[in-house]
Structure 1
Amino acid sequence: MQVLSLELNELNFHYIKNFVDRGALPNFARLFADNRVRETDAGEIYPELEPWIQWPTVYTGKTYAEHQLFRLGDIVYNDQPQIWDYLEQRGVKVGAISPMNASNRCADAAFFLPDPWTHTKLVADPKVAKLYALLGSLVNDNATADASIAKLASRILPLALPHMTSASIVEYFKILPVALKYKWARAAFLDRLLADVFVSLWKRHKPGFASLFLNAGAHIQHHHTYDSKAYDGERANPGWYSKAAETGADPLLFIYRVYDAIVGEMLALKDTHVFITTGLSQVPNKREHYQYRIVDFPGFFAKVGLEGATIRPRMSRDFLLEFASVEAAKAALPVLDRVRVGDAPLFAVDERGETLFCQVGYFGPPEGLEAVTIDGQPGDHSQAFALVSIENAIHQPTGYFVDALGPRAEPAPLPLADVFDRMCAAALADRHEVRAA
């Protein structure tokens, strides 16, 4: 029996229950009816309450205080043992698609496709690798991509088609009309395709343990919780930002339905032990909070006068600058400081030896970017930034965990770090059963 770890990043099961009660999500309803859903507790507070911190907790079985992985991509500078190499060393064949902040240290993984922001070894056949590289570029360009769905499909479809099934093609046609109307719905295509690729590779290789990380739900919740019937607060998105509420669309129900189909497909796979984990979940944001991303990194930093840096975009407003030496990194600090909004630096910078981890630190409305100055020279640089989101929801330490073959869920929250032991025990126990047979 193979163990599958389905990682639905930050998914709000307390909202899902709302739609389950309305009869909208049959596969999630099955999990709730069987009492398979248990709360987890990340045990962290801000600023440690981030998915790129909590997923390494799941992957290593260690809290943040123990693993000290604070930024997305940090794992490549750290030798923490993770669940895939831990199980591989014990004779279990492993695979992974898009695990957040995870490094491929396996000697012979069946497949390993890292998240789009962590630079580590990719293991896949050439066509899958090409498809994944294309998907990664789309993820990193998401805030500014205006390409039509038809254009994207023409590039992706020939590589993706071998992994699709008749059932999943039906799901794509459910996503398509919503994605044509609303940009926020496009992320569902990516997660639907990652699920297809995962199942296809899993059927081909049959690893003893394999994980699939999906992020569209977290993305849509962050951006559009205010637009959902599940939200009962007083805040609303401005019409220029979102047309969902006025047109009757419910972004949360939309992505939950996409995931409901994926959950059903995973549970239907033969000889599998399925675990579902969310890491964290979200609660509505009570304050106005905008997030921005640089549109053209090389072009913008050429204007700033930054030299000698390799720029590595991360999620949302974050990016990493890599230099040839510590001295070169330190020399870049006053250059970055000269980019300001009013009296405040535009960038928050974390010194890390030869690298600088940077974030766009302005959170006000878009017109404020018209007053950005570079080296004291005013100018309208608003077009250099894309609005990533009006942050509708923020992280909370409560997450959710489902053991589809385990006992009925206990009422007490499960420490998030304990998920590692439970999945490892299942993978190793199942292997021992095979050996005995």
Structure 2
Amino acid sequence: MAKDVIVLEFNELTPSVVDRLIALGKLPNFAKLRSQSIVAITDAEEAPPALEPWIQWVTVHTGLSYAEHKVFDLGDGPRLKEPRIWDMVSDAGRKAWICGSMNAAVQGGSFNGMVLPDPWATDIKPQPAGLFDPYLDVVRTYVQEYTTNRPGVSKSKMLRFMRFMAGNGLSSRTMLETIRQLVGELSKPIHWRRATILDRLQWDIFRRFYRTERPALSTFFLNSTAHFQHYFWRNFEPQAFSVNSDAETQKKYAEAIPYGYQKMDEIIGEARALAGPETSIVLCTALSQQPMLDHEDIGGKQIFKMHNQDKLFAFAGVPEGYTYAPVMAEQFHLIYDTEAEAQKAVERLRGVKLPDGTSVMMARCEGSRVFSGCDLVTHPAASAKITSTASNETPAFDAMFYPVEAVRSGMHHADGMLWICTPEHMHTVVERRVSLREIAPTLLTLADIPVGNSFALPPMPELEWVNPAISQAA
């Protein structure tokens, strides 16, 4: 029987939080998986501003450092033409199933497998062509407009989405949890939990096609708990912060982070049930988080989003002819046909300022693409007006932007989690910090895909403690 690998890419889970919640008995499936795995802490080998998941996941998938792959922004993954691990699986004549992996790309025109891009992707196409469109049309809107209670999804798109889910794995458990969520929102402030419903929907899709295709390599990416950590760490560990939330906000979000971990724990249990006798399950987080304490003097880092991008761009005098592509939080791409247009757009966006001359927008040019977003981290005075080099109008800042409900209180940390549960289920703890660059050759070796001299670093030598044949193959 051929060996295969399921990679659970649970973005930015934090080792100390997992340990704490396991000790409290809240994560039984994490505990079981850990007890049967090679357990390691990974090292992202980067510092800010290059400590970002859309950078580190490219390293995980290619074995290349940031200095080598040079992918800096979310959405820029397809610009890298080096092969990912799934390309190597495809080239070896075996199938791959890429479900939501961040900043992914596929090389060549004859990929042997399936690709469901992450919801922030702009330049990677789903494979097979058209299959996942009904799902992505809805999920992208909900993820990119997560701060809006009523994202702009038409009835026709929602109907297509529901038909797609009904025919592609929608489980009774997901249906029940969705109903509970929507009913619960009528009486409780639990709108933030919707992110875990999207997790369940994506897991249903992943499981459906894993069962039918039985790929050699599968990746399954989730981001909900990373999002909770970024915005609700202040409520999870109020004692770590000098500025605390008011009582109502504290009550609303105190359990958000544990809730996210517990919902992922459920998926780990289902993944273990899904795996075959020759399947390795790998839990990888790429990096982790820690309390963000460097903005306490201003009450925490506030994120601002545009009320209406077309209105703001018109006020700024941004050249027309762009394709608008929102990514994560307040950030977005503007895609033009020429670099000259993109450079003009950067100039105009940077020309939006507060009365004291502070630039409201961060913007930079990357060929014919612009990467931008609101650059402020604290709310201006209520009476603050903004100006533009292209307009005589002076609208209020609040007329153009609104603050995301919770201030950011979690920030990235270079440590990550890597648990490798092989079919032998033998447990050991790796005493060193493992480079992210070791993960790509390790995953391929677990799937019996020869790596040769494709990588700067070899597969993890600790694998021989579990199965000497793996070390010999490396």
TM over 0.5: yes
What is the distance in 1 between the residues matched to 2:165 and 2:438? Answer: 35
Q: Deviations over 1:8-52 (max 9, x none)?
A: 000123112111111111101213334643110001001000001
SS at match of 2:430: coil
SS of match in other structure, 1:386: strand
Note the C-alpha offset of 1:366.
6.1
Does the residue aligned with 2:314 lie in a helix, a strand or coil?
A: helix
SS, match of residue 101 in structure 1: coil
Please list the CA deviations of residues 315-371 of structure 1 after superposition, one character each: whole Å capped at 9, or x if unmatched: 112111222222222233332232012311111222222222113111102656843
Q: Partner of 2:457 in structure 1?
A: none
- The answer on 1:208 being equivalent to 2:211 is no
The structure 2 residue matched to 1:387, chosen from 385, 392, 403, is 403
Higher deviation after alignment, 24-33 or 50-59: 24-33
Deviation at 1:160, TM superposition (A): 2.1
**Distance (Å, rounded) in 2 between the aligned partners of 1:148 and 1:261:** 30
Matched-pair contact (CA < 8 Å) for 1:28–1:260: yes
1:310-349 correspondence runs (5 A): 310-341=323-354, 342-349=356-363
Equivalent residue runs for 1:26-425 within 5 Å: 26-34=28-36, 36-105=38-107, 107-118=110-121, 119-124=123-128, 126=130, 128-146=132-150, 156-162=161-167, 163-169=169-175, 171-172=177-178, 181-228=189-236, 232-235=239-242, 238-239=245-246, 243-246=248-251, 249-271=254-276, 272-286=279-293, 287=295, 288-308=300-320, 309-341=322-354, 342-365=356-379, 367=381, 370-375=384-389, 377-388=393-404, 389-405=406-422, 407-425=427-445
Q: Say which SS state the counterpart of residue 274 (structure 1) adopts.
A: strand
Counterpart secondary structure, 2:432:
coil
1:35 to 1:204, Cα distance in 2 relative to 1, 3 A? closer
TM score, norm. by length of structure 1: 0.89
Distance in 2 of aligned mates of 1:235 and 1:165: 44
Where structure 2 has 5 or more consecutive residues not aligned to the other structure, the ranges are 451-468
**For the Cα contact (< 8 Å) 1:318–1:360, is it kept in 2?**
yes
Partner residue of 2:454? none
Among the aligned pairs, what percent are the same residue?
27
Comparing 295-304 with 196-205, greater Cα deviation is found at 295-304
- CA positional deviation for 1:384: 2.5
Secondary structure at the counterpart of residue 413 of structure 1:
strand
Equivalent residue of 1:390, what SS?
coil
Deviation at 1:197, TM superposition (A): 0.7
Instruction: Tell me how large the CA RMSD over aligned residues is.
Output: 2.8
Report SS of the residue matched to 1:332. helix
Give the Å deviation of 1:156.
Answer: 4.4
Q: Note the C-alpha offset of 1:249.
A: 4.6
State the SS of the aligned residue for 1:409.
strand
Q: Secondary structure at the match of 1:371?
A: coil
Cα distance change, pair 29–312 in 1 and its aligned pair in 2 (3 A): same
Q: Distance in 2 between matches of 1:148 and 1:345?
A: 30
